């Protein structure tokens, strides 16, 4: 069921730039919808804040009171394990109350529109919506329609964006490789259907990576992908040559229309990351994968579980990044609300 109609958004909302939607008048984060439009300073602030939160996971009491008394609603219109679980943990570690809406058993399954679902949650005084939706642009649409005091966090929309996944990947890279300026990064796999790849490319370029490459069969490359700021390779060996970071992507068979690949075994032979193909990368290159992993299709188990793999680090860093985004967006909304109240009070007293 398609619950979303982007044409419902007002013309002004549809015309707004990504930065105008995501930042308030003071330049603070109010929504986190996309990497596009955000400056290096905002992305660096997210990474620095997440680095600070990483230590909470090692503490005896894994909580801070930053969002005490606030409510975060997780609205997942698509299945998820890592993203949903880490958002829930992130909100709870910030001491927020968490509402997990099971869409399959909610009123949406009875035909309720997306907007009706949202306004009812709004009436419950939720402070943030974490939204995963199968339609590209869903989070942007929701941010344009919902009342100003609710922070919208995009947990993945269609083929468009997955900004918190990109940022946890950036945190993982920064913690293991330092600054981005000298790094060459290869993103390998199903670029065509990947919302993660687009967000990773934008984040890497914004943070100043030396070179971003995408590696895939021609049938799994979107038209014009190079305009995002990446070099395109259709041969794995050439694409991996001397790179510092290899990010593998899942084959999203559920999104594929028609026969885009001859077979999984042929794909693995040509594009699977094995110990032999990894040898073309820099000797100290690290390996990442946003998950879930298809072993023997995208990556060899010996590589996924090997000493150069950062896959489990990505999961750990996901909690810290999502804590950072939630705390920054909800705090920004709270400050903006207080400023609006102050302005109204001054106006009333004039």
Q: Do 285 and 242 belong to one domain? A: yes
**Which of 292, 309, 326 is a domain's end point?**
309
pLDDT in tens, 253-281: 554 444 567 688 899 999 999 999 999 99
CA distance 94 to 96: 6
Q: Residue 292, annotated ligand binder?
A: yes
Model confidence at 345: pLDDT above 90: no
Q: Do 228 and 284 belong to one domain? A: yes
Note whether residue 78 is domain-resident.
Answer: yes
Task: Evaluate the CA torsion angle 170, 172, 175, 181 in order and state its sign.
Answer: negative
- Whole-prediction pTM value? 0.89
Q: Do 157 and 188 belong to one domain? A: no
Number of Cβ within 10 Å of residue 320's Cβ equals: 25
Q: Do 25 and 151 belong to one domain? A: yes
Q: Residue 337, annotated ligand binder?
A: no
Q: Residue 213, annotated ligand binder?
A: no
Model confidence at 13: pLDDT above 60: no
Instruction: Give the residue, 12 or 292, on which the prediction is more confident.
Output: 292
Model confidence at 248: pLDDT above 90: yes
Model confidence at 7: pLDDT above 70: no
Which pLDDT score is estimated for 11?
43
Note whether residue 345 is domain-resident.
Answer: no
Q: Residue 255, annotated ligand binder?
A: no
CA distance 53 to 44: 14
pLDDT in tens, 36-74: 999 999 999 999 999 999 999 888 889 999 999 999 999
Note whether residue 346 is domain-resident.
Answer: no
Q: Do 251 and 298 belong to one domain? A: yes
Q: Do 154 and 17 belong to one domain? A: yes
CA distance 35 to 46: 12
The domain that holds 264 is classified in CATH as: 3.40.50.1370
Q: Do 147 and 168 belong to one domain? A: no
Q: Residue 62, annotated ligand binder?
A: no
Q: Residue 82, annotated ligand binder?
A: yes
Q: Residue 28, annotated ligand binder?
A: no
pLDDT in tens, 298-314: 999 999 999 999 999 99
CA distance 45 to 47: 5
Note whether residue 222 is domain-resident.
Answer: yes
Count of domains for the chain: 2
Residues spanned by the domain of 37 = 6-161+316-335
Which pLDDT score is estimated for 189?
95
Choose among 156, 185, 182: nearest CA to 169: 185
Phi, psi angles (nearest 5°) of residue 341 = -65, -40
Which pLDDT score is estimated for 339?
66
Note whether residue 1 is domain-resident.
Answer: no
Number of Cβ within 10 Å of residue 69's Cβ equals: 9
Q: Do 137 and 176 belong to one domain? A: no
Q: Do 157 and 170 belong to one domain? A: no
Q: Do 74 and 132 belong to one domain? A: yes
Q: What is the DSSP letter of 56?
A: G
| Length of the chain as a residue count | 350
Q: Do 69 and 129 belong to one domain? A: yes
pLDDT in tens, 69-95: 999 999 998 888 889 999 999 999 999
Note whether residue 343 is domain-resident.
Answer: no
The model's confidence at residue 125, banded by pLDDT at 50, 70 and 90, is confident
Note whether residue 347 is domain-resident.
Answer: no
Note whether residue 348 is domain-resident.
Answer: no
Q: Alpha carbon 219 to chain centroid distance? A: 24
Read off the pLDDT of each residue in 148-169 and give the average, rounded to a whole number.
94
Which pLDDT score is estimated for 258?
46
The model's confidence at residue 342, banded by pLDDT at 50, 70 and 90, is low
Q: Do 167 and 292 belong to one domain? A: yes
Which pLDDT score is estimated for 350?
57
Model confidence at 107: pLDDT above 70: no
Read off the pLDDT of each residue in 102-123 and give the average, rounded to a whole number.
72
Which pLDDT score is estimated for 80?
84
């Amino acid at each position: 069921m398609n619950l979303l109609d982007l044409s419902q958004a007002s013309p002004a909302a549809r015309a707004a730039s990504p930065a105008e939607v995501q930042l308030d008048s003071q330049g603070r984060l109010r929504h986190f919808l996309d990497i596009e439009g955000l400056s290096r300073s905002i992305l660096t602030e997210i990474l620095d804040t997440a680095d600070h939160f990483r230590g909470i996971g090692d503490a005896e009491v894994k909580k801070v009171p930053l969002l005490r008394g606030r409510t975060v609603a997780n609205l997942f219109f698509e299945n998820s394990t890592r993203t949903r679980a880490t958002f829930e943990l992130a909100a709870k570690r910030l001491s927020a109350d968490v509402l997990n809406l099971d869409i399959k058993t909610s009123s949406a399954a009875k035909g309720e529109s997306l907007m009706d679902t949202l306004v009812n949650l709004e009436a419950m005084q939720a402070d943030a919506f974490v939204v995963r939706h199968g339609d590209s642009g869903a989070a942007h649409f929701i941010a344009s329609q919902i009342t100003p005091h609710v922070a919208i966090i995009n947990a993945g929309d269609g083929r468009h964006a997955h900004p918190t996944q990109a940022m946890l990947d950036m945190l993982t890279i920064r913690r293991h490789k330092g600054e981005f300026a000298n790094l060459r990064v290869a993103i390998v796999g199903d670029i065509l259907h990947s919302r993660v790849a687009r967000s990773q490319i934008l984040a890497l370029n914004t943070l100043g990576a030396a070179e971003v490459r995408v590696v895939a069969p021609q049938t799994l490359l979107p038209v014009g992908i190079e305009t995002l700021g990446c070099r395109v390779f259709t041969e794995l060996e050439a694409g991996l040559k001397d790179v510092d970071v290899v990010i593998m992507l899942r084959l999203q068979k559920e999104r594929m229309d028609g026969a885009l690949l001859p077979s999984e075994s042929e794909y693995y032979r040509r594009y699977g990351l094995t110990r032999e193909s990894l040898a073309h990368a820099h000797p100290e290159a690290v390996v990442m994968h946003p998950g879930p992993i298809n072993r023997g299709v995208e990556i060899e188990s010996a590589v996924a579980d090997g000493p150069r793999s950062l896959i489990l680090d990505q999961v750990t860093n996901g909690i810290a990044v999502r804590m950072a985004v939630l705390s920054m967006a909800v705090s920004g909304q709270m400050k903006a609300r207080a400023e609006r109240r102050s302005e109204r009070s001054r106006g009333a007293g004039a």
